[in-house]
Structure 1
Amino acid sequence: MRYLPHSEAERAEMLGVIGVDSIEALFGAVPEDLVAKRPLELPPHSPEYLVEAHMRQLAGRNHAAGDGPFFLGAGAYRHHVPASVDHLIQRSEWLTAYTPYQPEISQGTLQMLFEFQTQVARITGMEVANASLYDGSTGTAEAVLMARRLTRRSKVLLSGGLHPHYRDVVRGYLRDDDDLVCLSASPSGQGDLLDRIDEDTAAIVVQTPDFYGHLRDLKRAAEAVHAVGGLLIAVVTEVVSLGVLEAPGALGADIVVCEGQSIGNALNFGGPYVGLMATRQKFIRQMPGRICGETVDAQGKRGYVLTLSTREQHIRREKATSNICTNSGLCALAFSIHLSLLGAAGFTRLARLNHARACALADALEQIDGVELLNKTFFNEMTIRLDRPASGVVDALAQRGILAGVPASRLVPDDDQVNNLLILAATELTSDADIEALCAALKETLA
């Protein structure tokens, strides 16, 4: 590419090669009212090293998760990701293709996705899994649409314990139609979910652990919705919990959706993340996205193929199960490598360590005046009630370098009953010193 021509002769030469008489003619297809009348108000160009210095200065203003005691959760969790994960995801075997449009030359990518599907199916207790979705929230919306296709019904009940962002994404997909029933986000329960099930119900959506950290009875929910021919969609935002909790598939779930960020993927200031979806074999034709399979080639050697890809890029749009056009391939790869490094025993140990850290946090919090623990059950996340609005307390502790959790009012802004509620998470990275610093600062702030 030539340098930007400054002289009239150079501009005329380039225009001649293109075959136009002037710059104005080059952009003649742009409507006149959209043409800029003056230069953009941008700073002059700078040398690369000065831009790098400026960006480092801006980045230095961030308070990252590892910079101090950290108790944020609510759908995104801080876990240790081994350095080996970052090394392995850059190997050429996995970077042969962004997306497997030509499977015969994308064997590395397809093998990885096949292994990923196998892992997701095993940890969720389901029979089949797809080759990832974007994230847990859009995966939940896709599961709702899938359940409607399978049951040929339209009524869907969203539990009050479903993450508010997930609820809002489902609403966006369904455009708030009258057959979508969103129960209130109660900190004490999931609303009158089971009492609202009737013969018109296509599915109920239950999250466990839920938004407030409570563990939910999926088996009872499955029995209730199956009695009327509906489906149970189980949602898991903290996938590490599946290392110790009974798999949703074993409890009767028909479709399981998870946010897989906790395994192999750092917080990254909000993404990208990876959506997991698994279901029963009989529902496979209505599953969105891709499904990779194992086969043999003409020489009898093992190979991998796209067994199903009912997305609109591959078939007619009106026949597609989804307009999800790609997958979170790199994040899925990181998930698969990290889970492989852990192994089954390591995954269970990680989950037990998370729960132990959360128990230590809960015990410490219950000793503070003005703090009430709301959870009778939890995995690594819990909700406390303070004697004043939680948002102000969080702001005060943030000034001391402690990220003390997520005020429920931040995600449920129109409900006064949650103003004093604070959601905290503990993981394997939460130390005794972190818990001591949080509790000491909380005591001072509430005193």
Structure 2
Amino acid sequence: MASRVTRRSRIAVLDSVSPAYISVLRTYTEAQGIVIDVVSSNNLHLSEETACLVAQQPNFLGYIEDMQSLADQAHSLGTLFVAYADALSMAMFTPPGEYGADIVASEGQALGVPPTFGGPYVGIFACKQDFIRQMPGRIVGRTVDTEGRTAYVLTLQTREQHIRRERATSNICTSVALIALMTTVYMAANGRHGMRRTAELTYQKAHYLASLIADIPGYSVVDGGIFFQEFAVQCPVTPAALNERLLDHKIIGGLDISDRVPNGMLLCATEVNTRAEIDAFATALAEIGSSD
């Protein structure tokens, strides 16, 4: 989409974006002749051929990026800024619209959708009004019917069934209307203040877990700045060995990130975790650490 809007053929992606997301981007862009450049925020070089800069908030290791600075650098070269933002974090931290994101993507699973062994979930996609005609999928508009009542209609449908195939912006779609309804009900039931409270609970529980782990001999929390719900931990043993031992405690451990942090594990705590569960996890880590 960014390449169509700017008529440019390169996409810059921060190295702090999830490697899984970068892999998906390569799959989508390779056949189109679009080049993916993985760049560092500490040494950000964008060319006049760069269609967009992609950043994740929070980043892959869970830490908060300076999105305003990144957006400003991108816009100074006429490059679009694309944000992949955690849905729940937007209730607590600056939302993409306020730091000038042109295109936003997110996963709505945290908004009342159970994990269900990996899906189905609901993708969230937004953009500035200027680019709405380049947006894939169907765009629903709000109007009134003949009796003046609020009505919703499919305003834009740039699909190959309706226009010339080569001009279509959406050739493959998956309906997640049921899951979208679940997230709508969840947000309506919580309201603005409830969503903020849920985000704060997530933040507090993640930091409580981090504080417990920081006090366990052999473990250290990687200092990467402010984090929301995920954070990196350096362990006394390999994450593979640690996760195997955690299964004995009926606990599924964290993600192995040893390629980025020596003996590194990515952990997360959210509003659904009780204090007892968090304490039990920390106790298990301490027992495993002391026995090795």
Structure 2 match to 1:405? 254
State whether structure 2 residue 251 is matched by structure 1 residue 395: no
For normalisation by structure 2, the TM-score amounts to: 0.93
Is the Cα contact below 8 Å between 1:213 and 1:383 reproduced in 2?
Answer: yes
1:282 and 1:149, CA in 2 relative to 1: closer, same or farther beyond 3 A?
same
SS of 1:370 mapped into structure 2: coil
1:269 aligns with 2:117: yes
Partner of 1:376: 225
Matched, 1:429 2:272: yes
Q: Is the 8 A contact 2:11 2:34 kept in 1?
A: no
CA distance in 1, matches of 2:150, 2:100: 34
- Kindly report the root-mean-square deviation, in angstroms, between the aligned alpha carbons of the 2 structures: 1.7
Give the C-alpha shift of residue 383 in structure 1. Answer: 0.8
Following the alignment from structure 1 to structure 2, what is the Cα–Cα distance between the partners of residues 194 and 148? 23
Within-5 A mapping of 1:150-229: 150-175=5-30, 177=33, 179-183=35-39, 191-192=40-41, 195-229=44-78
Letter aligned with residue 253 of structure 1? A
362, 382, 394: which one aligns with 2:210: 362
Q: Percent identity?
A: 40
- Give the TM-score taking structure 1 as reference length: 0.62
CA displacement, residues 204-255 of structure 1 (integer Å, 9 cap, x when unaligned)? 100011111010011000010101000110002x311111001111011111
What do residues 95-139 of structure 1 show as CA deviations (whole Å, max 9, x unaligned)? xxxxxxxxxxxxxxxxxxxxxxxxxxxxxxxxxxxxxxxxxxxxx
Instruction: Note closer, same or farther for the CA distance 1:165–1:281 as it changes in structure 2 (3 Å cut).
Output: same
Q: Which amino acid aligns with 2:16?
A: G
- AA paired with 2:267? L
Q: Shift in Å at residue 328 of structure 1? A: 1.4
| 1-structure distance, mates of 2:227, 2:11 | 26
- For this pair of structures, how many residues does the alignment match? 288
Which residue identity lines up with residue 406 of structure 1 in the other structure? L
Cα drift, residue 380 of structure 1: 1.1
Structure 1 or 2, whichever has the larger Rg, is 1
- What residue number does 1:386 align with? 235
Question: Which has the higher relative contact order, 1 or 2, with Cα contacts under 8 A spaced 6 or more apart?
Answer: 1
Q: What is the distance in 2 between the residues matched to 1:194 and 1:279?
A: 27
**SS class of match (1:365):** helix
Aligned-residue offset at 1:316: 2.2
- Asked whether the 8 Å contact 2:237–2:263 carries over to 1, the reply is yes
Give structure 2 stretches of 5+ with no counterpart: none
1:315-326 maps to which residues of 2 (within 5 A)?
A: 315-326=163-174
State the match for 1:89 in structure 2.
none
Q: CA deviation at 1:264?
A: 2.0
The residue identity in structure 2 corresponding to 1:291 is: I
Q: Residues of 2 paired with 1:372 and 1:311: CA distance?
A: 51
Closer, same or farther in 2 for the Cα pair 1:297/1:433, shift >3 Å? closer
Q: Supply the distance in 2 between the matched residues of 1:172 and 1:218 (Cα, whole angstroms).
A: 26
